[in-house]
Structure 1
Amino acid sequence: MSVSLVQKYNVPGPRYTSYPTVPYWDEASFSPNRWKETFIQSFTESNTTEGISLYIHLPFCESLCTFCGCHKRITKRHEVENPYIAAVLKEWQLYCDLFPAKPIIKEIHLGGGTPTFFSPEHLEQLINGILSKAEKASEFEFSFEGHPNNTTRIHLQTLYDLGFRRVSFGVQDYSEKVQTAIHRHQPFHNVAKVTFWAKEIGYTSISHDLVFGLPFQTLDNVIDTIEKTNSLSPDRLAFYSYAHVPWIKGNGQRGFKDEDVPKDEEKRKLYEVGKALLSHKGYHEIGMDHFALEDDAMYQAFKAGKLHRNFMGYTASKTQLMIGLGVSSISDSWYAFAQNEKELETYYARLSQNELPVYRGHVLTEEDLIIRRHILNLMCQFSTSWQSDDLYFDDLPEVLSQLHEMELDGLLQIKPNSLVVTEKGKAFVRNICMAFDLRLKRKTPQTQLFSMTV
């Protein structure tokens, strides 16, 4: 990749798990009652045709990984498990009381934190409690994130018996020096062990999460990590850019110096070499930072134009309504976003008052809904179109004018009624989306809100 392009386009930018992005939510016009109206509307429109998705945030971790940007609570006290499960099930009951019909669940994803911090018995209690109030869709998809160091065979078997077929293991990097810097010690044999267990039990999609741009990470580290990963043949991979945002995460990302983190051309080379290696091993790029083998459902969804992206990341099965349960979780009714309380004690207090623990959100305008569809198209299919009138917006000519320079740089092609990202441009898809981000352009942040795009 051209060094000049990296220098030119390496600017702070969103990852677009939502549009508008969280810093641009209009919280003043949001209210819990408005949120209830939108999720009931969305439920009525889509429950019988698509079903709904549940994201359940399990925030506890026994130790702090200093690369992590997720909301978590560090503790070794496992007596926190039972009251948290009870709280999540109470929150689910509050939603079920509002639904006009029995929910049909298409997706459940357990994220964290560390979901496998919880015992298999408590996870079984959680999932059975959720399903006791709902029906499963005919083609449901349940997934969870497993820590290689504490995921047991009983965890895997218990969740498999409950219907889980997808598991994602966080690997990051196998270098001991990098692992020490990010406080995430996990030897290769731990990852191999849980991967083989998952295959033996019958999981149909096993994913490994890798990260490039970590402190002290070298090109040799990335090559070694990908070679080791390939020996285990996971069905899909996430190859994320490390988001160095210590101004947001505080001391959690200050376990090393800024100069220890690869930047610009050095960081981009880690990605380019890693991507080439993955391609050589038979992995296809799908969306931003994600790769899958040809027989994986994620790749099939990408080829069919059905790949979707939300606060859970990329998914092969779209639902209009996603309910987030647990502390800090974000829900999406398509018409509005709502985020739960971030502090555990406040989350518990709201539930004790029989209130949905939502503390902020955003109701999308008509313009937001159009821009959201364009950004989703770009992030999921590397193309978008305004052939139909419902995808045209007044600022489109100006957006295309701003994209002209990227076209000259070979990053995209602008056609009469559509835009296609080139192979060269896939690395800059966040920059391309930023041209459509009207809220970002109308109110340039005065301080750095986002990680660098490269």
Structure 2
Amino acid sequence: MSISLVQKYNVPGPRYTSYPTVPYWDETSFSAAKWKQTLVQSFAESNAAEGISLYIHLPFCESLCTFCGCHKRITKRHEVEHPYIKAVLKEWQLYCELLPEKPIIKEIHLGGGTPTFFSPENLEQLIKGILNRAKIAADYEFSFEGHPNNTTRTHLEVLYTLGFRRVSFGVQDYSEKVQTAIHRIQPFHNVAKVTFWAREIGYTSISHDLVFGLPFQTLENVIDTIEKTNSLSPDRLAFYSYAHVPWIKGNGQRGFKDDDVPKDDAKRLLYEEGKKLLAQKGYHEIGMDHFALETDSMYKAFKENKLHRNFMGYTASKTKLMIGLGVSSISDSWYAFAQNEKELETYYARLNQNELPVFRGHVLTQEDLIIRQHILNLMCQFNTSWKKKESYFCHLPIVLSQLTEMENDGLIILTPHTLTVTEKGKPFVRNICMAFDLRLKRNAPKTQLFSMTV
């Protein structure tokens, strides 16, 4: 890869788990009433055909990992578990009361925070409480994020009994120096143990999350981490860029100096060399920064153009309606986004008043909907098309004219009706999506909002 390309295109940019991105939501035109209206509309259009997805945010962690950009509450007091589960089930009840019939659940994902902070018994209570008010789709997929240090065999067995078949373990990097800097100490044998347990119990998709660009991380560290990962053969993995955003996360990302974080070409080299090692093991690059073996459902979804991306990241199936439960969770009706209260006490107070704890959101315009689909196409399939009338928008010629330089650099191939990202262009897919981001163009940020794109 040309060094000049990395330097040229490594600018702050969104990760595009949504469009519009959260900083560009039009909160003035949003209301709880509008959110409920789009929720019911989306449910009517999609429940019987494809079911709905649930994302459940479990925010508690016993210690702070300084690489993390997630919304969390640090505590060692496990008595917080029961009232939180009670609140989430109350929120689910309020949603079910809005829906005209029983929801059919296609996906459940438990994220955090640390879902395995919760005891197996409390997680069982949570999932059974959710399923008591729903039906399960025939092709459902339940998944959760597990911390290798506190995921027990009982966690894995209980969730397997409840229908979970996919688990993701956060690894990040195996270097002791890097682990110390990010305050995430977990030896390889802990990861190996939970991976072997999951496989033995019968989980069909085991994932590891790796991060490149962490403080003090060297090429030798990445090679060692990838080789250890390859020895465990997870079915899929994420190998994503560390988002250094200390201006957003405050002290959580100030445990090291900015100069300790790899940048530009040095950072990108970590990914490229890691990708080579993964390819030798049979992993295929899927979307942006994700890899899967040919036997995994994510690879099959990618090959069949069914890969989807939302606030849970990449998923092997798409539902129009995704309801987020729990503090700070974001819901997506396709026509609107809605985010829950970020403060736990306010979240509880809203539910005690029998209110959905939504505090902000965005209703998508027709232009938003079209651009959202183009960005989804690029992020999931590395191509998009405006052959069909419904895929065209009036500012498209301006967008295409601004892609000329990327075309000249060999990052994309343009035809009169299509755009295809080349192999050379895949590291810059976020930059390519930014060309379509009219809300970003119309209101360029005065301060840095996003992490670097490469």
Amino acid in structure 1 at the alignment position of 2:356: L
Name the structure 2 match of 1:14: 14
* Aligned residue number for residue 337 of structure 2: 337
AA matched with 2:418? S
Deviation of residue 277 (structure 1)? Answer: 1.2
Q: Secondary structure at the match of 1:84?
A: helix
Q: TM-score, normalised by structure 1?
A: 1.00
Q: Partner residue of 1:62?
A: 62
Give the structure 2 partner of residue 274 of structure 1. Answer: 274
Distance in 2, matches of 1:333 and 1:269, equals 39
Q: Distance in 1 between matches of 2:16 and 2:308?
A: 12
What is the alpha-carbon distance in structure 1 between the residues aligned to residue 84 and residue 26 of structure 2?
Answer: 30
How far does residue 373 in structure 1 lie from its aligned partner after superposition?
Answer: 0.2
Cross-structure match for 1:286: 286
How far 1:45 sits from its partner (Å)?
Answer: 0.4
TM-score w.r.t. the length of structure 2 is 1.00
Match of 1:105 in 2: 105
CA distance in 1, matches of 2:253, 2:305: 37
Q: In 2, distance between residues paired with 1:42 and 1:101?
A: 13
Partner of 1:43: 43
- Is the partner of 1:256 in helix, strand or coil? coil
CA distance in 2, matches of 1:170, 1:382: 27
CA separation in 1, counterparts of 2:281 and 2:28? 49
How far the C-alpha of 1:281 sits from its partner, in A, is 1.2
Distance 1:192 1:13 in 2: 35
Q: Give the 5 Å matches for 1:375-394.
A: 375-394=375-394
User: Alignment partner of 2:406: what SS?
Assistant: helix
1:351 partner amino acid: L
Query: What 5-or-longer segments of structure 2 have no aligned partner?
Result: none
1:297 positional shift: 0.2
Q: How does 1:406-421 map to 2 (within 5 A)?
A: 406-421=406-421
Partner of 2:183: 183
CA distance in 2, matches of 1:62, 1:255: 18
Q: Which amino acid aligns with 2:227?
A: E
Secondary structure at the aligned position of 2:239 is classed as strand
**Once the 2 structures are TM-superposed, how far is the Cα of residue 134 of structure 1 from its aligned partner?**
0.2
SS at match of 2:256: coil
2:427 is aligned to 427
Give CA-to-partner distance per residue, 1:310-329, whole Å, 9 cap, x none: 00000011000000000000
Alpha-carbon distance, 1:109 to partner: 0.1
User: Offset of 1:74 from its aligned partner?
Assistant: 0.2
Q: Does 1:116 align with 2:116?
A: yes
Counterpart for residue 134 of structure 2: 134
List per-residue Cα deviations over 1:98-137 (Å, max 9, x = no partner). 0011100000000000000000000000000000000000
Whichever residue aligns with residue 77 of structure 1, its letter is R
Shift of 1:78: 0.2
Q: What amino acid is the match of 2:341?
A: E
DSSP 3-state at the match of 1:424: coil
How far does the alpha carbon of each residue in 1:318-361 deviate from its partner, in whole angstroms, 9 at most, with x for none? 00000000000000000000000000000000000000000000
CA distance in 2, matches of 1:233, 1:253: 31
- 1:405 aligned partner: 405
Alignment correspondent of 2:196: 196
Alignment root-mean-square deviation, CA: 0.4
Aligned to 1:346: 346
Partner of 1:161: 161
State, as a whole percentage, how many aligned pairs show the same letter.
84
- Matched residues in 1 for 2:420 and 2:63: separation? 43
Q: Deviations over 1:213-235 (max 9, x none)?
A: 00000000000000000000000
CA–CA separation in structure 2 for the residues paired with 1:280 and 1:404? 35
Secondary structure, in 3 states, of the residue corresponding to 2:50? coil
**Amino acid paired to 2:445:** P
Q: Deviations over 1:141-177 (max 9, x none)?
A: 0000000000000000000000000000000000000
CA distance in structure 1 between the partners assigned to 2:240 and 2:77 by the alignment: 31
Match for residue 214 of structure 2?
Answer: 214
Cα distance between partner residues in 2 of 1:376 and 1:80:
37
Answering whether residue 229 of structure 2 is matched by residue 223 of structure 1, we say no
One-letter amino acid of the structure 1 residue matched with residue 369 of structure 2: L
Match of 2:366? Answer: 366
Match of 1:32 in 2: 32
Tell me the distance in 2 between the aligned counterparts of 1:395 and 1:272: 35
Consecutive unaligned residues in structure 1, runs of 5 or more: none
Q: Counterpart of 1:397 in 2: which secondary structure?
A: helix
Deviation at 1:274, TM superposition (A): 0.8
SS at match of 1:430: helix
Tell me by how many angstroms 1:397 deviates.
0.8
State how far apart, in whole Å, the 2-side matches of 1:52 and 1:192 are: 33
- Match of 2:429, as an amino acid? V
2:140 maps to 1:172: no
Deviation, 1:276, is 1.2
1:383 maps to a residue whose letter is: N
Per-residue deviation at 1:77?
A: 0.2
Query: Once the 2 structures are TM-superposed, how far is the Cα of residue 415 of structure 1 from its aligned partner?
Result: 1.0
Structure 2 CA distance for aligned equivalents of residues 347 and 123 of structure 1: 20
Aligned equivalent of 1:311? 311
The reply on whether 1:152 has 2:129 as its aligned counterpart is no
Once the 2 structures are TM-superposed, how far is the Cα of residue 185 of structure 1 from its aligned partner? 0.1
Q: Which residue of 2 aligns with 1:448?
A: 448
State the alpha-carbon separation in 1 of the partners of residues 220 and 416 from structure 2: 44
| In 1: Cα distance, 2:240 partner to 2:75 partner | 27
Q: CA deviation at 1:279?
A: 1.1
Amino acid at match of 1:340: N
Match of 1:324 in 2: 324
**Worse overlay, 80-89 or 400-409:** 400-409
Distance 1:309 1:269 in 2: 26
Structure 2 CA distance for aligned equivalents of residues 362 and 119 of structure 1: 35
Taking the aligned partners of 2:276 and 2:24, their CA distance within structure 1 comes to 36
Q: How many residues align?
A: 454
